[in-house]
Amino acid sequence: MSTKYKEFSNDRVISKQFFSLLPAQILLVFIPSLNGIISGLFGSNMLGEKALTAIGIFAPAISLIGAATGVMMGGAQILTGRYMGKNQVDRTQQIFSLDLAAVGALSLVISAVFAIAALFGLTGFLNSDPEVIRMFNGYILGVSIGIVPMMLSNQLSVFLSMEMEGNRSSQAMGMFVVINFFLTWLFLKVFRFQTFGLALAGAIGYWVSFLYQIAFYFSGKSILKVKLPTSIGPDLAEMIAIGFPGALTSLYMTVRRLVFNT
């Protein structure tokens, strides 16, 4: 067992690690909110009222994605802490692998749904204005490109904090902010990509943030490794059961936004 893992198994260090997970929780709330603020500001100033309407239609979906991410992140956080405290290295690795695999698979499905809905014009029922729907389709097509790194980045922020690499998540957050802001201006002002460019800027920011974070797990310095999980069913069910209560706020916000949008 590595010295670093032995340090992790100490009760005092475990408690410190859970306090260090606060940045990960902030990341989950802050990044999507910041992305929405940037989209709103640039959308209102450069694209007009209909673009804001299109972005607003998507708000419940963002809350729902946040809820799903929160369920997995909360469950993985508790289970990882449990097994770390018992010096169960293999079980800790299993939860890490399962969390990334499950969230990765879910994010791919969500991305495919958004892309298909946009490309085949399946969103007309959401608004009676064809121009709003056109802008909405462009927006969700851009969003679909960044769903995978957005959801996985939130999971990685938890494990990086546990590996005492929380600064990497903070740096990734800073990269996202700078890239998103610059590319939003570039895509809207220079290339005139409209709502697609608005979402694409955030998607590229998420990819850069994700790649920067996951690079640590290929550096040879990490305790946990990127590999396939050895099993799925029981651990996944327990992860969801543990994480679900913590996602109730996001689920409430989803329902609330759906009510306001109808």
Q: When comparing pLDDT for 142 and 162, which is higher? A: 142
Tokens encoding 261:
């949008």
Instruction: Tell me the C-alpha distance between 158 and 93, whole Å.
Output: 14
Residue 130: how many other CB atoms lie within 10 Å? 9
Q: 1-10, 32-41, 115-124, 129-138 — which is least confidently predicted?
A: 1-10
- Predicted confidence at residue 86, as pLDDT, reads 85
Identify the band that residue 18 occupies on the pLDDT scale cut at 50, 70 and 90: low
- Predicted confidence at residue 46, as pLDDT, reads 82
Identify the band that residue 45 occupies on the pLDDT scale cut at 50, 70 and 90: confident
Buried/exposed code over 77-103 (b: 16+ C-beta within 10 A; e: otherwise): bbbbbebbbeeebebbbbbbbbbbbbb
Backbone Cα Rg of the chain: 19
Which residue, chain included where needed, has tokens 């306001």?
A: 260
The pTM is what? 0.86
Q: Give the residue among 217, 6, 5, 15 at the shortest CA–CA distance from 96.
A: 217
Mean pLDDT of 72-91: 88
Cα–chain center distance at 136 = 21
Separation in Å, CA 104 to CA 110, 172, 257: 10, 19, 26
Instruction: Tell me the C-alpha distance between 192 and 142, whole Å.
Output: 14
126-140 pLDDT, tens per residue?
Answer: 999 999 999 999 999
153-164 pLDDT, tens per residue?
Answer: 989 988 988 888
Is-contact 261 123, C-beta < 8 A?
A: no
Task: Collect all residues with Cβ–Cβ distance below 8 Å to 168 and sequence separation of at least 6.
Answer: 160, 212, 213, 216
What three-state secondary structure class fits 18? helix
